[in-house]
Structure 1
Amino acid sequence: MNKIAITIISCCFFSIAVFGQKNATWCNPLNLNYRFSYDGLGYREAADPTLHLYKGSYFLYASKSGGYWYSNNLLNWTFRPSKTLPTEDYAPTVETINDTVFFIASTEGVNISHTRNIYYNTNPKEDNWKIYREEFPITTTDPALFKDDDGKVYFYYGCSNVNPIMGVQVDPKRQFDTVGTPAVLIKHNIKEHGWEEPGEENNKGHNGWNEGAWMNKYKGKYYLQYAAPGTEFKGYADGVYVSDKPLGPFTYMPNSPFSYKPRGFANGAGHGSTFKDKYGNYWHAGTITVSIRHMFERRVGLFPAFFDKDGELHCITAFGDYPTMMPARKMDFEKESLFTGWMLLSYKKPVTASSSLPDHAPELAVNEEIRDWWSAQTGNKGEWFQVDLQKLNTVNALQVNFADQDAMLKAQDSYIPYQFMIESSVDGKTWKPLVDKSKNRVDVVHDYMVLPQPVKTRFLRITNISTPAGKFSISGFRVFGKGIGNKPSVVQSVNVNRDKTDDRRCKLQWMPVKDATGYMVYYGNDPGKLFHSIMVYDDHELHIPSLNKGVPYYFRVDAFNENGIAKGKQVYSSAPTKF
């Protein structure tokens, strides 16, 4: 097919489609123009997000993105391509000092000769960044800048499976010269912290990568956050140390990792940034891992965060890849939920397709696994995919996650984004238009669409109009709404077995309950603080390898299906092993 190429050369607008809904919503991964890599392997990337509020607008910077984004509501994002910043480098960070935004990125990247420069801008909506300091004195990866209330500025850095997270004061009035000697702040400690050990089951037996430092100050305390054990793992997470001083000494917060999402469709919540919105709510932006074509195949997620009455930092990732409401007021995230209650209607439902490649069957588009996908045999117009919800359900929203099978595009290539049509049917014979993106010009591969009005339907079909390159392919055709049946039964009993030889590990088992699609396991170090969560499909047991040694844990298991959630009525405890 002969395509008319388009290239992003100016601001592009990326929107969470709300179509006049009373409550605006979003669904992770965020709707952004995840750009193809330069190496021609056909994978997209944006990761290591720094998100901050500056003069009433939110700015999002991410690795290897060719620019950055800004928004006035955390929903609708405008992409700003940049030629004045080293946007091909990893882990950019910014800080506002006296109404000026300062920028620095890691010292490994395409523009290696420029990566130690510090840039500044007083109007970052325009690409007019200028160099403030050439050759910053510290060669570093994963930098973070932090301005304290007294005006002093600190620099944190580190990305290694050997070296620690470091910190030092810098003087912005003297071009960020260091003040004093860099201090060791966070060392590796896999013997105590199970989540820092690499591997999908945290079982590699050696240090992971401690990286991605970030600092917040709350009520006089300093919260130094860091990521582990590696960006390619589903358990990529963020932990936190706390101190009375910006350079320590720091004490480990035992609810670490506070930002953790190892299961579900979108996995990972590490190497992020915690920030306050214009209403005073805290949020945590983190890295979602795909890591199939390359370990750096990644996306960006956004999760509510808060500090509790005891000063502990928490992040809510439960149903964190389902539709979530965006508040327009100050909220108490400890007690108030942003979950819309729209359940997943498409999980493992019967599917058909126009064609399929070997090892890319249609069922892979509804199995809640971002790492595999259905692919048609071609990218031709008319290839289609269809799901049968098996009964009439109320559909509120859709998320179509395109997989780029055989795209093999590079960052500098121009192309037409995915164009498609979605139709609905109550009987599988007569079809009505539902979503028309036949003339789409916005490059969104995790396309979240809220319908103008909820629709009662049984069948949904997406038909290809145009594919950027390669084959028409989908890693997740996700349908959200309200089922018409009953919620599942309540989980009655949970067996908690903490490993006596290694209490960083724990196994939970429970009797499966009637009509449950899956379970949400909540846990924490206090029976009143069950803010960690892990989603379980198709099983009634869970191995958690990411606990902290010598720390008590408490658990609750909720059951859910497409009709709603049945909250567990009992909390179960697990005392640490005494060695």
Structure 2
Amino acid sequence: MSATLYCNPLPLPQLPRGRYSGQPTAFEQQFDLPDAFCIFFGKDRPDFRESGDVEVLHYQPDGCWYLFGSSRAGDSVYRSRDFLTWEHFQISLTAGNGYAPAVTQRSGKVYLSFSLSPLYEADHPLGPYHSLGYLCDQRGAKLKAWLDPALFTDDDQRMYAYWGYGPADGGLFGAEIESLYPPVIKGEPTFLIDFNREHLWERFGEANEDPDFSSLEGASMFKHEGRYYLLYSANGAGFRNYAEGCYIGSSPLGPFEYARSSPFARQSTGIVNSCAHGGFVRGPDNQVWYFYSTCIRQRHEYERRIGRDRVFFNAAHEPQVCISASPRHLDGSDAGLLPVSVNKRVDSSSHEAWNIDRYAIDDCTHTWWQPAFNDPQPWLTLELRREFALRAIRILWSEVNLDYERGILPEPVKYRLDFYRRGESEPSRTLDFSDQQEDLVVDFRTFAEIPAQRVRLTILQG
């Protein structure tokens, strides 16, 4: 099996703690929030892990890719040297908010910010970072609605900022950054776009049923062949049909024209859904890729993972992305591997409450199989009905008992896979991961072809 395959959601190691999990942070407590936000800021919030609202920086000095995503502290960064495997690093930040990162490089420096956060500067994507202060207007006032920001450096090294939320905060805005010491924009903010009820996919709700409201957010800027692509997301990050759209302009601040391919990324069913709030980046061979959030939704509606897929441009220079949930080659082409487990027959050693074994294979992220708490060595057996040539596995682990305050922390899951040929009672092959040392909440592995009709997963620890 080729070592140049990836599969969504991406198997990022040591996924960080979710933004709205556990006790509210000191940063959260400084806001007087309405009752509508109690689901996020209430005191009885289950722990979960996430990374979303992703931005990837291709750092020119070392040629590596650095992935930044939303989390509780915003201090997790991933580095890839080959655009396939990712290493986890922690950075140190002075502010307490780590949601919706914005990152760019300019003149040998790296600049990073988050929603409602200062602008940080570093000599390297992994830091150390120091705060330059909040981005302000010409009068010295903090920019209004510094939410879901984006940073962009043009070829002439002029830097731009994008931010906002529509329609509640008036839409998305942009400005050139005139000074970094302290951070100040040039002139007045430029209005860019807002919710357009004629774009039906932008309308709020799972069925886009609300013609008068949306969550238009997640600005990102990318330049390709002399054109400026203003990406944005709608219609609400908690919905399965959350999607990504685009406006195209001839300068960083527009004017912009709506791309008729919008939403160019949308997937509302299956393991990989709610695919939005991301950005473009150049990968190997200068190909353009789209990194995006995708929802799990087991412990919280914003429990998310990261996906990626290749970007293609049509004759009108508009982006198009085919969201994938099966293995792909590094160039984005389909590896030809089909899922053979969905809704097949299954048996298990036990289950807890309503979390029956069939939920392990129903192609749905917000249901899961949970063994009984007193099951010493849980197992799940999958009957494929006929013999297949198996070449890869993908397991999305559930973490229903996480509790950081009580010391119940993430750990590597140790397990074994036994493969049985048709009519055999003893396994013909075994893949033993009992020495697993890497903490992977999404586990994707390829291997040499194994013919099998039954597969048994035995959880040894975790």
- TM-score tier by shorter-chain length is 0.7 to 0.9
The answer to whether residue 138 in structure 2 is matched with residue 166 in structure 1 is: no
The answer to whether residue 339 in structure 2 is matched with residue 344 in structure 1 is: yes
Cα distance change on mapping 1:97 and 1:410 into 2, 3 Å: farther
Deviation at 1:443, TM superposition (A): 1.4
1:24 counterpart letter in structure 2 = T
Q: Secondary structure at 2:412's aligned position in 1?
A: coil
In structure 1, distance between residues paired with 2:234 and 2:89: 30
Deviations 1:477-531 (A, max 9, x none): xxxxxxxxxxxxxxxxxxxxxxxxxxxxxxxxxxxxxxxxxxxxxxxxxxxxxxx
Asked if structure 2 preserves the Cα contact closer than 8 Å seen for 1:35 and 1:411, the reply is: no
In structure 2, distance between residues paired with 1:67 and 1:445: 15
**Which residue does 1:187 correspond to in 2?**
194
In structure 2, distance between residues paired with 1:85 and 1:227: 28
Q: Secondary structure at 1:363's aligned position in 2?
A: helix
Cα distance change on mapping 1:369 and 1:278 into 2, 3 Å: same
Q: Secondary structure at 1:90's aligned position in 2?
A: coil
The answer to whether residue 6 in structure 2 is matched with residue 26 in structure 1 is: yes
In structure 1, distance between residues paired with 2:210 and 2:163: 25
Deviation at 1:84, TM superposition (A): 3.2
Deviation at 1:42, TM superposition (A): 2.8
Deviations 1:440-486 (A, max 9, x none): 221111100111x110011101111112xxxxxxxxxxxxxxxxxxx
**Which residue does 1:63 correspond to in 2?**
70
Asked if structure 2 preserves the Cα contact closer than 8 Å seen for 1:381 and 1:464, the reply is: no
The answer to whether residue 128 in structure 2 is matched with residue 119 in structure 1 is: no
Deviation at 1:359, TM superposition (A): 2.0
**Which residue does 2:238 correspond to in 1?**
232
Q: Superposition RMSD on alpha carbons, in Å?
A: 2.0
Q: TM-score, normalised by structure 2?
A: 0.87
The answer to whether residue 444 in structure 2 is matched with residue 438 in structure 1 is: no
The answer to whether residue 148 in structure 2 is matched with residue 142 in structure 1 is: yes
Asked if structure 2 preserves the Cα contact closer than 8 Å seen for 1:380 and 1:464, the reply is: no
In structure 1, distance between residues paired with 2:333 and 2:354: 37
**Which residue does 2:415 correspond to in 1?**
420
In structure 1, distance between residues paired with 2:218 and 2:191: 15
Q: Secondary structure at 1:279's aligned position in 2?
A: helix
In structure 1, distance between residues paired with 2:100 and 2:374: 34
**Percent of aligned pairs sharing the same letter:** 25
Deviation at 1:268, TM superposition (A): 1.8
Deviation at 1:415, TM superposition (A): 4.4
**Which residue does 2:162 correspond to in 1?**
156
Deviation at 1:131, TM superposition (A): 2.4
Deviation at 1:379, TM superposition (A): 6.4
Superposed counterparts of 1:348-497, under 5 Å: 348-378=343-373, 380-409=375-404, 414-426=409-421, 427=423, 429-451=425-447, 453-467=448-462
In structure 1, distance between residues paired with 2:429 and 2:154: 54
1:167 counterpart letter in structure 2 = G
2:384 counterpart letter in structure 1 = L
In structure 2, distance between residues paired with 1:223 and 1:392: 47
Deviations 1:165-217 (A, max 9, x none): 11111124554311010111111112x11111122221234311010001112
Deviation at 1:45, TM superposition (A): 1.2
**Which residue does 1:197 correspond to in 2?**
203
Asked if structure 2 preserves the Cα contact closer than 8 Å seen for 1:232 and 1:290, the reply is: no
Asked if structure 2 preserves the Cα contact closer than 8 Å seen for 1:283 and 1:304, the reply is: yes
1:394 counterpart letter in structure 2 = A
Indicate the larger mover: 135-144 or 346-355: 135-144
In structure 2, distance between residues paired with 1:386 and 1:363: 11
In structure 2, distance between residues paired with 1:430 and 1:22: 28
2:246 counterpart letter in structure 1 = V
Deviations 1:135-187 (A, max 9, x none): 64324111111112222221100134422011111124554311010111111
**Which residue does 1:210 correspond to in 2?**
216
Cα distance change on mapping 1:84 and 1:407 into 2, 3 Å: closer
In structure 1, distance between residues paired with 2:54 and 2:400: 26
Cα distance change on mapping 1:281 and 1:87 into 2, 3 Å: farther
In structure 2, distance between residues paired with 1:104 and 1:326: 30
Superposed counterparts of 1:288-303, under 5 Å: 288-303=294-309
In structure 2, distance between residues paired with 1:254 and 1:261: 17
The answer to whether residue 87 in structure 2 is matched with residue 82 in structure 1 is: no
In structure 1, distance between residues paired with 2:186 and 2:407: 41
Runs of 4+ residues over 6 Å off in structure 1: none
Asked if structure 1 preserves the Cα contact closer than 8 Å seen for 2:273 and 2:294, the reply is: yes
2:177 counterpart letter in structure 1 = V
Cα distance change on mapping 1:174 and 1:404 into 2, 3 Å: closer
Cα distance change on mapping 1:326 and 1:172 into 2, 3 Å: farther
Q: TM-score, normalised by structure 1?
A: 0.70
Deviation at 1:361, TM superposition (A): 1.5
**Which residue does 2:51 correspond to in 1?**
46
Q: Secondary structure at 2:53's aligned position in 1?
A: coil
Cα distance change on mapping 1:75 and 1:132 into 2, 3 Å: same
- Structure 1 unaligned spans of 5+: 1-20, 108-114, 328-336, 468-579
Asked if structure 1 preserves the Cα contact closer than 8 Å seen for 2:355 and 2:369, the reply is: yes
In structure 1, distance between residues paired with 2:429 and 2:244: 43
Cα distance change on mapping 1:104 and 1:82 into 2, 3 Å: same
Deviation at 1:405, TM superposition (A): 2.9
In structure 2, distance between residues paired with 1:394 and 1:87: 49
**Which residue does 2:319 correspond to in 1?**
313
Deviation at 1:285, TM superposition (A): 0.4
Deviations 1:542-579 (A, max 9, x none): xxxxxxxxxxxxxxxxxxxxxxxxxxxxxxxxxxxxxx
**Which residue does 1:130 correspond to in 2?**
130
Indicate the larger mover: 29-38 or 416-425: 29-38
In structure 1, distance between residues paired with 2:3 and 2:200: 39
Q: Secondary structure at 1:456's aligned position in 2?
A: strand
- Structure 2 unaligned spans of 5+: 23-44, 137-141
In structure 2, distance between residues paired with 1:410 and 1:294: 18
In structure 2, distance between residues paired with 1:173 and 1:298: 33
In structure 2, distance between residues paired with 1:463 and 1:404: 17
Deviation at 1:50, TM superposition (A): 0.4
Deviations 1:53-101 (A, max 9, x none): 0030000000015311111112111111122365742101111101211
1:132 counterpart letter in structure 2 = L
* Count of residues in correspondence between the two structures: 425
Deviation at 1:25, TM superposition (A): 0.6
